[in-house]
Amino acid sequence: MEEELISKKDLLELTGISYGQLYRWKRKNLLPEEWFIRKSAFTGQETFFPKQRILDRIDKILHMKDDLSLDELADMFSPASQAISIPMKELIERNIVSTNAAKAAETYIGKSELYTFEQTLCVYILDYCLQTGEISLEEGRTMLPTFLEYYKKFKEQQCDLILLRKMGVSVFLLVPAGGEIHFESGVKIILRVDVPGMIEQLKLKLIAI
Amino acid sequence: MGDKRNLIITGIGKSNGGDVHLAKIEGVGTIEGDVSCSEFKVDGKGELQGSLKAATAAINGIFNIRGNLQADQFSIDGKMTVDGFITGEHIRMNGMVTVKGGCETEKFDANGRMNIEMLNAGQIKLILQGSSSINEIGGEEIEIRRQPGSILAKWLKSVPGPFGNKLNAGVIEGDTIYLEHTTADIVRGGEVKIGPGCTIGNIEYKQSLDVHSSSKIIKHVKR
């Protein structure tokens, strides 16, 4: 997965932000350290960024910085789970998850009134997978316990959720984000869900009341 | 906070660290683990083999830290080596400081000899005494000056050698930049003002550029 890179110079020109702002956002952890790729160029050392991801992020920051403080924004972009609990009813009413997904999840998570952020994330991802139409509800049911049990083990490290299928048998995997994996022939990657991306989306939806 | 204990080393001593209210070394002390506290103080010589997390930290003397240092208000008068990173809100340094990782803070006030790999701060004020080296500097307001009117510095300058008050930097990037006696490969910024005694490889600026007659600029571009 070679990503297109953008130099710092071009990025500032394109987005119209200043060096000061960029450094400030980095200090506030709005931009992760891994995105700062230092390379030597003919003008000396230059910093590059993954183009699509940084442009998306800056766009979001610029749009939301009037409503939220930088610390609140940092909290939103961080892959750490928030310490919140949400009633499932509200999630369905606000169209964050579908009724189907919520029903399927109920058996595994339990019929509690309030969902923690992690549980909500789990339902949200299930919902997303179902919406893509790539997995059946049955498969979704096997995914839930896997995700719930092993997601925590990644802690700060981010992970991807992968669905494989070979000869009609489906397998779910959790792997470190962006990691490369190779399979024997006949194995098909049906879905690869970017979990940190989902966390960001979910946090965004939860904030927008 | 009231129920937390204090960690105090007076004279010569050792401790394992821990989560305390006040951690203080008076004399010579070694802490062999991490410390998390609301107030950290060294008067004398201290060594911390882990990382430090404190609301305020003040060092008077010599201090070495193997891990990272995180303190909202941090001040040092003396000599310090940090193997990891420093993060804080307001960092004040006076003396000779080496930071092998980076330094991130809102306000950075320093006077002396700084060897830092990467410095990222909202407001940077650095007064040079001796030869400093910072590989990457980034921030909103950057001001680097030489300690003015020191007779000793003038005398030292007449002797050739690695003396003199100067800064060696790789890249300096900021919104407003003022530099004196700085050698840098690249300076990029909005309003750039180059004072006396600088040698800069390449300047890229947005609004304005002002160069003192004694400074050498190899190339400059307005963008």
Q: Which residues of A touch B (CB under 8 A)?
A: 8-9, 13, 18-20, 22-24, 26-27, 43-45
The CA distance from B173 to B186, in Å, is 8
Tokens of B139: 């921030």
pLDDT of residue A2: 64
8 A C-beta contact, residue B170 and residue B184? yes
Residue of A nearest to B190 (CA): A18
Would the CB atoms of B190 and A24 count as touching at under 8 Å?
Answer: no
Query: What was the pLDDT predicted at B42?
Result: 96
Burial class (CB in 10 A: 0-12, 13-18, 19+), A71: exposed
Q: Which residues contact B57 (CB under 8 A, 6 or more apart)?
A: B39, B40, B41, B69, B71, B73, B74, B75
In a mutational test of the B interface, the residue from A27, A29, A30, A43 whose CB has the highest number of chain B CBs within 10 Å is A27
Query: Helix A117-132 to helix A195-207 angle, to the nearest 10 degrees?
Result: 110
Sorted by sequence, the CB contacts under 8 Å of residue A178 that are 6+ apart come out as A1, A160
Please provide residue B212's backbone torsions phi and psi, each rounded to the nearest 5 degrees.
-70, 150
Nearest Cα residue to A168 out of A135, A137, A142:
A135
Confidence of residue B154 (pLDDT cuts 50, 70, 90): low
Task: In whole angstroms, give the CA distance from residue B8 to residue A114.
Answer: 46
pLDDT digits (tens, 9 = 90+) for A158-196: 788 888 888 888 888 888 877 778 888 888 888 888 887
Cβ of residue B106 closer than 8 Å to a chain A Cβ: yes
**Contacts A8 to B, Cβ<8 Å:** 173
A44-50 and A114-116 beta bridge pairing: unpaired
C-beta of residue B131 within 8 angstroms of C-beta of residue B116: no
Q: What is the pLDDT of residues A138-151, one digit of tens each?
A: 777 777 777 777 77
| Beta pairing class for B22-31 and B52-65 | unpaired
Q: Is B1 helix (H, G, I), strand (E, B) or coil?
A: coil
Q: Is the pLDDT of residue A81 over 60?
A: no
User: Could you give the domains of chain A?
Assistant: 5-77 (1.10.1660.10), 85-207 (no CATH)
Radius of gyration of chain B (CA): 19
Q: A59 or A209: whose pLDDT is higher?
A: A59
Is residue B200's pLDDT more than 90?
Answer: yes
Q: Is B72 on the interface with A (CB under 8 A)?
A: no
Cα-Cα-Cα-Cα dihedral sign, residues A86, A78, B108, A21? negative
Longest alpha-carbon distance in chain A: 61
Count the helices and strands in chain A (H runs, E runs): 9, 8
pTM confidence score: 0.74
**Contact at 8 Å (CB) between A180 and A155?**
no
Q: Which amino acid is at B63?
A: F
Q: Which residue reads 């007076």 in tokens?
A: B10
Widest Cα–Cα separation across chain B: 62
A23-27, A138-142, B38-42, B146-150: which has the minimum mean pLDDT? B146-150
Q: Cβ of B115 under 8 Å from any chain A Cβ?
A: no
A47 contacts A38 by C-beta, under 8 angstroms:
yes
Instruction: Give residue-wise pLDDT tens across range B201-212.
Output: 999 999 999 999
Residue A85 has pLDDT above 90, yes or no: no
More confident residue, A147 or B163: A147
Measured between beta carbons, which residues in chain A are less than 8 angstroms from residue B174?
19-20, 23
- Asked if pLDDT for residue A37 goes beyond 80, the answer is yes
Q: Please name the member of B120, B171, B175 whose beta carbon is closest to the beta carbon of A45.
A: B171
B190-199 pLDDT per residue, tens: 999 999 999 9
Residue of chain A whose alpha carbon sits nearest to that of B102: A27
Rounded Cα distance, B71 and A63, in Å: 31
Q: Report d(CA B136, CA B3) in Å as an integer.
A: 43
Residue B117 contacts A where some CB pair is shorter than 8 Å: no
How big is chain A by its Cα radius of gyration, in Å? 19
At B128, the amino acid letter reads L
Q: How far is B174 from chain A (nearest CA, A)?
A: 5
Residue of B nearest to A27 (CA): B104
Question: Mean pLDDT throughout A42-47?
Answer: 72
Interatomic CA distance for residues B169 and A125, integer angstroms: 47
Asked whether the beta carbons of residue A19 and residue B175 sit closer than 8 angstroms, the reply is yes
More confident residue, B55 or A123: B55
Q: How far is B223 from chain A (nearest CA, A)?
A: 9
> Do residues B198 and B212 touch, judged by C-beta distance below 8 A?
yes
Complex ipTM value: 0.82
Lowest mean pLDDT among A154-163, A194-203, B171-180: A154-163
* Residue B165: Cβ within 10 Å count: 23
Pick the more confident residue, A24 or A102: A24
Average pLDDT, chain A: 79
Are A54 and A34 contacting, i.e. CB atoms less than 8 angstroms apart?
no
pLDDT band at B161 (very low <50, low <70, confident <90, very high): very low
* Cβ neighbours of B139 in A, within 8 Å: 19-20, 23
Which residues does residue B13 pair with via DSSP β-bridges, in sequence order?
B29
Q: What is the pLDDT of residue B149?
A: 62
Contacts of B171 in chain A (CB under 8 A): 44-45
- CA of A18 vs chain B CAs: smallest distance (Å): 7
B153 has a pLDDT exceeding 60: no
Instruction: Report the range of poorest mean pLDDT among A25-34, A63-72, A76-85.
Output: A76-85
Identity at A160, one-letter amino acid code:
D
Rounded to an integer, the average pLDDT of B73-96 is: 95
User: Which residues of chain A lie closer than 8 angstroms to B202, CB-CB?
Assistant: 43-44
**Interatomic CA distance for residues A183 and A189, integer angstroms:** 9
User: What pLDDT is attached to residue B193?
Assistant: 94
In chain A, whose CA is at the least distance from the CA of B123? A20
d(CA A96, CA A117): 13
- Which residues 162-221 in chain B show a CB within 8 A of chain A? 170-171, 173-175, 185-186, 188-190, 201-202, 204
Interchain contact B18–A (C-beta under 8 A): no
Flag if B201 and A18 touch (Cβ within 8 Å).
no
| Chain B interface, best mutation among A8, A11, A22, A24, by max B CB count within 10 A | A24
A77 band by pLDDT with thresholds 50, 70 and 90: confident
Distances (CA, A) of A99 to A80, A95, B204: 26, 9, 56
Q: In this model, does residue B158 exceed pLDDT 50?
A: yes
CA distance B95 to A47: 31
Model confidence at A15: pLDDT above 50: yes
Contact A172, A138 (CB under 8 A): no
| Confidence at residue B159, expressed as pLDDT on a 0 to 100 scale | 54
The runs of H, that is alpha helices, within A8-163 are: 8-15, 19-27, 51-64, 70-77, 88-93, 99-109, 117-132, 137-150
pLDDT band, residue A44 (cuts 50/70/90): low
d(CA A179, CA A115): 30
A140 compared with A36, residue with greater pLDDT? A36
pLDDT > 70? residue B61: yes
Stretch A59-87: mean pLDDT, rounded? 74
What percentage of chain B carries pLDDT values higher than 90? 83
